[in-house]
Chain A
Amino acid sequence: SVSSSFPFSLLDPMLKRDCFEDILEERRNSSDLKYALRCYAPVLYKGVTPCKANMLKNIVLQSDQLHYVINQVSQESGEAPDIIQEEASVILEEMAHRLQISTVRCFAFALSKAFKTLFQHVCVNEEGIQRLQQAIQEHPVVLLPSHRSYMDFLLMSYILYTYDLALPVIAAGMDFMGMKFVGEMLRMSGAFFIRRSFGGDKLYWAVFSEYVKTMLRNGFAPIEFFLEGTRSRTCKSLTPKLGLLNIVIEPFFKGEVFDVNLVPVSISYERILEESLYARELLGVPKPKESTSGLLKARRILSEDYGSIHVYFGQPVSVRSLAQGKVNRSTYNLFPRHIPRKPMEETQSFVNDTAYRIVRLQEDNMVLKPWVLMASLLLQNLEGLELSVLTEQTVWLRGLALSYAAFLDWPDQAPTAKVVSSSLALHRGLACVSGDRVSLVVGEPLGPVTPEEALFNRAVSVLSCASYRNQVLHVFLRPAMLAVAMLHLSDEVYNCFSFLWDMFSNDFILCPGDTVQDFEEACYLLVKTGAVQMPQQDIVMTDIGQPTLSFFNGLLEPFLQGYQVVCRYLCEEASEGLTEKQYIPAVRSFAVKLILAGNLRCYEVLSSDMQKNALAALLRMDAVRKVKVADQVTLIVNKMAVNSIDDILGKNRMISHINQTPISPSLSLVAVAEDLYRDGLTPSYIR
């Protein structure tokens, strides 16, 4: 059968997660000062002696790699090499970390205090720490945490300090540098700063990549960066960025190191500090510029309860094992290693693939709280629902999530009612119980409000709530897409699945080329939970499958609607010379109009994240093109194509309001496979 022939994590009997240890517990029972001043002597890679920041800079400035580029730039620009060298030195000065143990100790002290006020627990899987310790000694290590909060990298360093592990050097965006004092503090705790964009600047790239590679090759410290590039404002994982990953993997391909260990780290917050900030940002209130005074204002948050943090250090992933049979390292033999070169296609696709796998590993080990399930249910019942119904459905959803191997942190002993009520208590800013009904809280405005303001307030709470639902999406995504495809009543279930897969691949982490595998995974999961049967390789809903399929359908409903609104806008409203800049505000006001007129109930479409992803999908599907005219990027809409995408989505949506008849798609999987083959996909996708 299809479902038994493919490898994926849920079928892996080895999939066993470690237990957590609360590191705050000890902090609550012993002196923070002593802790900050204790002996810190981490084991390093093959016993190297730590390298002073200045020595590191010298190694970089004297490297063949940098010399080559300096000469190249000098020849191109006509400037003397000395001057370029000086420029390189300035860039490095601006970039380099100045890790100092004294600063780290200050942070250790201050963060202990802060964490104890903010959080109930900071839980870490100690087995993961042990694996990391082992990995650090064997090969250069790259730490790849998920990124949902500013807190992430301080937290990471804090944990590594706590466990006496080598402190990482962390790639941070230049925007932190705006905060003079804090920026320097971060620098002294191991951050190095990179400009957000330096597209064509060869010299900058050379300094930057050589700086990172030097640290990696010599194993001076683990390197830490965020694959997602920026904090996820939606709590969904973001499409990984490849630049830094390319840099840290290249030394392996060039034989400069035996192996590189990539360690995915999943940081899950029960409540995110930036919760409503993110929602506002997504709704178009620009992100406040990082400034020290801004951070001080954030002191207000110190008085709130943010629940627990779970940090899961995943199994180190050996680049050597991953690349086995995929990249032929000897193709690097014929080119001098110090001359920068665009990675070969084979390498690029390997790095891309690796990035996706790592993000999926991050997702797999994200700890989900009961509230995440409750938020998913509440969002499907915006009018609110009975507490007893919510409780009952949450229990049902818990079962489903567990059978899909979700990493659910459900209090073992507590009665369900208690779990639900304490979740509601912690998130009282988002949901309230009045009488027997639970509903979303809408921020109370001061004084009279316009309909737009009311709508805006409501959207803030919907988006905040959605950021919790989003945390569970990676668990349900594949079966949910299949459910939508089935309810579409099309006779080509796979084609419909594949369409959705393609459409949503900016919104969710779908590894390139994995369509068939994801489809098989979806089938397997739905069969496993009894929602679907596959007689003679058909896909048929079972008698008991209705609630599951309908829940999944509702789960993706906002995305389907959102994309559809974008399509409608592009077909009906968009003016001829629509620029990329105008696009987001224009879609937003289009959606606001629809909602105010009572024609749309979906608030999530107001999120700039969804709008961007929808546009990216349409661009990918060639329904929209970008044309650069003068300094403006204009969007050229192929209305026919957009219309037909809208049609497919529309059919989905209408059907999704569920008729109760059983579904009997007539298409067999084999036929699907044949179709695919005919359409020119490589046969290797078909097993």
Chain B
Amino acid sequence: PSLLLLLTLTKLTNCFLFSPRQEIMKWNGWGYSDSKFLFNKKGQAEFTGKRYRLSGMTLPSLQDWFENTFGASVKHKSPPVLNASVVPPPRLNEAFVENLKATGIPFSNEAEDRVFRAHGHCLHEIFALREGKKFERVPDMVVWPNCHNDVVKIVELACKHNVCLIPYGGGTSVTSALECPPEETRCIVSLDTSQMNRILWLDENNLVAHVEAGIIGQDLERLLNESGYCTGHEPDSMEFSSLGGWVATRASGMKKNVYGNIEDLVIHIKAVTPRGVIEKSCQGPRTSTGPDIHHFILGSEGTLGVVTEVTMKIRPIPEYQKYGSVVFPKFEAGVACLREVAKQRCAPASIRLMDNKQFHFGHALKPQVSSIFTHFVEGLKKFYITKLKGFDPHQLVVATLLFEGDRERVLQHEKQVYDIAATFGGLAAGEDNGQRGYLLTFVIAYLRDLGMDYCVVAESFETSVPWDRVLDLCQNVKERIIRECKERGVQFQPLTSCRVTQTYDSGACIYFYFAFNYRGLADPVHTYEQVEHAAREEILANGGSLSHHHGVGKLRKEWMKDSISNVGVGMLKSVKEYVDPENIFGNRNLL
């Protein structure tokens, strides 16, 4: 069985090694240029390309779902404007350029290279690209170090010539972290880590691998797999995000229940700062040597330096993997079940609970059924759940599961979880439903592009919250969004959907999708931002955190003081002050 849904894709593409990624990736949307959703001439949705399980398939129910959910119509198109953005001319620091040339490290000041690294994937960024709007500030040049020592040289030169550096990994930020501060007058250099993508060594005795931080998630996984190992770190963005980026934003992977989050996975971090290189002297599995300096770097969001090399835990590839799903009559029952699973500490590698809206969303992605028999079986299942078991199709929710390990234990584990689910009224609903749930998270960003082709804007955001507040938070945030949309003149009911996407001993991570049809609005992005702002306020008022894994960037800076107290902000500031007094790493994230 394939480890990843997209394993087929990794076989086909020759990964990113040494190829400028903008050649195979969209410049104004998500992912690969060859992969996109569209409504074909028959009005049916299809997913182009060959990379994904859904690729080349038609999705007969997507159009209905789309039109009914958003009040949108495939007749109302809003295609992207095709001319690239007007790019402000580069402000080069000649002395820096001269010195850089002498090192032989490749760089560029081509407009295309610079714009590509001027943004992440926030709605406003992608919207601006599609509309051909001018970016106020973009990097003045891009530099591609090949190894740790290259980075040392670049940082030294930047300090010498007072140049602003912005590290760039996979470019999947959704917090405006890559946005260049418009007030920055110095030359801005985007430090692209993509060429630092090797596994330097692999230690099977201690089960660790030493990896360059520019490596992209799927490449890391593929290369390790060749040796029979994996990291098990699978954030939804892993096709495009980088190891250094994970460290810099405190990333979380969907299988963290087995493998841990990024902070649990790293054993050693090497980073280059204006003060010099920071690293530990040993690889002891745990130390008591004052506050853990790794935690200054984890979540530093590129404000202190560049992560160049990471030693990371690895695991043998699990022998067996199995998807599963459970339907519950109501969201409340599902949350109670997940809470119990967390209490008993028997969570499978992944366990997620999608609300009713997301369940329907997932269903809209069902490919055309090939045989009458499958059709018949589907019908029977539906009949069983809604008619015999009395589940209301507008209330029921589904938990998706992923088990990993040796076969016997997986089956045992599976039984344990299904037994718990049964006590909360949950019914096992098959592997296919489970798998489709995970598929949704990998294609969701492609679907956003489709929405934007038809006047629908969309975004996701997340938080973490204690168990007892999960239900209230979900409900209040959704209600707040609906109310704010109404007050701001959004003419169509917005889509608000959430899932409990990670479980912990004392709480859970909640992931929201939010989208609306913006026809009739003068400035949809502004409206969107206001609503998202209000939603975040609501999250904070309901005991949710500022972020579980997306980070703060510039998007959520304003709430940092309330989140970590004045003293907390002061501590971070003093670290920044010591490490980078000239603000060389001047992306102005976090603080």
**Residues of A bordering B, CB below 8 Å:** 255-256, 258, 328-330, 332-333, 336-338
Contact = CB atoms under 8 A, between A and B. Distances in A.
A33 B542 CA distance: 49
B480 A255 contact: no
B468 A255 contact: no
A258 B468 contact: no
B505 interface: no
Contacts of A337: 468-469
Contacts of B542: 255, 329
B558 interface: no
Given A258-B479, A258-B480, A330 B541 contact: yes
Interface stretch (B75-83, B215-223, B470-478, B547-555): B470-478
Nearest to A337: B468
B540 interface: yes
Contacts of A330: 540-541, 543, 562
23 contacts: A255-B469, A255-B472, A255-B473, A255-B476, A255-B541, A255-B542, A255-B543, A256-B472, A258-B475, A258-B476, A258-B479, A258-B480, A328-B541, A329-B541, A329-B542, A330-B540, A330-B541, A330-B543, A332-B543, A333-B543, A337-B468, A337-B469, A338-B468
Nearest to A331: B541
- Nearest 5 CB-CB pairings of A with B: A329-B541, A255-B542, A333-B543, A258-B479, A255-B472
Nearest to A329: B541
Contacts of B543: 255, 330, 332-333
Contacts of A255: 469, 472-473, 476, 541-543
Most buried by B among A255, A329, A337: A255
Given A255-B542, A258-B480, A337-B468, 17 more contacts: A255-B469, A255-B473, A255-B476, A255-B541, A256-B472, A258-B475, A258-B479, A328-B541, A329-B541, A329-B542, A330-B540, A330-B541, A330-B543, A330-B562, A332-B543, A333-B543, A337-B469
A319 to B, nearest CB: 13
Nearest to B478: A258
A337 B471 CA distance: 14
A329 B473 CA distance: 13
Contacts of B480: 258
Contacts of B541: 255, 328-330
A328 B468 CA distance: 20
A338 B475 CA distance: 19
| Chain B facing A: main interface SS | helix
A254 to B, nearest CB: 8
Contacts of B479: 258
B469 to A, nearest CB: 6
A455 B146 CA distance: 106
A250 to B, nearest CB: 13
Interface of B: 468-469, 472-473, 475-476, 479-480, 540-543, 562
A258 B541 CA distance: 11
A16 B36 CA distance: 56
Contacts of A336: 468
A255 B475 CA distance: 10
A329 to B, nearest CB: 4
A180 B479 CA distance: 45
Nearest to B480: A258
B530 to A, nearest CB: 15
Contacts of B476: 255, 258
Nearest to A333: B543
A534 B264 CA distance: 73
Contacts of A332: 543
B491 to A, nearest CB: 20
Contacts of A328: 541
A258 to B, nearest CB: 5
Nearest to B544: A333
Most buried by B among A330, A336, A338: A330
A598 to B, nearest CB: 65
Nearest to B483: A258
A64 to B, nearest CB: 8
A336 B469 CA distance: 10
A249 to B, nearest CB: 14
Nearest to B472: A255
A325 to B, nearest CB: 11
A338 B467 CA distance: 13
B568 to A, nearest CB: 14
Contacts of B473: 255
A333 B469 CA distance: 10
Nearest to A217: B472
B226 to A, nearest CB: 47
B548 to A, nearest CB: 15
A344 to B, nearest CB: 15
A258 B482 CA distance: 12
A340 to B, nearest CB: 15
A327 to B, nearest CB: 10
Contacts of B468: 336-338
B487 to A, nearest CB: 11
Contacts of B540: 330
A328 B540 CA distance: 10
A255 B468 CA distance: 11
Contacts of B562: 330
A336 B467 CA distance: 11
Contacts of A338: 468
Nearest to B476: A258
Nearest to A255: B542
A599 to B, nearest CB: 61
Contacts of B475: 258
B455 to A, nearest CB: 29
Nearest to A334: B543
A329 B469 CA distance: 13
A255 B474 CA distance: 10
Nearest to A338: B468
Contacts of A329: 541-542
A328 B543 CA distance: 11
Nearest to B541: A329
A484 B476 CA distance: 51
A243 B542 CA distance: 24
B327 to A, nearest CB: 22
A337 B470 CA distance: 13
Contacts of B472: 255-256
Contacts of A258: 475-476, 479-480
A190 B574 CA distance: 62
Contacts of A333: 543
A315 B472 CA distance: 27
Nearest to B469: A255
Contacts of A256: 472
A336 B540 CA distance: 16
Most buried by A among B472, B476, B480, B541: B541
B561 to A, nearest CB: 12
A256 B480 CA distance: 14
A333 B541 CA distance: 8
A28 to B, nearest CB: 43
A220 B542 CA distance: 23
A492 B37 CA distance: 77
Most buried by A among B479, B543, B562: B543
A207 to B, nearest CB: 21
B336 to A, nearest CB: 14
A339 to B, nearest CB: 11
A659 B468 CA distance: 70
A333 B565 CA distance: 14
Nearest to A64: B468
B395 to A, nearest CB: 11
A330 B469 CA distance: 12
Nearest to B468: A337
Most buried by B among A256, A329, A333, A338: A333
Nearest to B563: A330
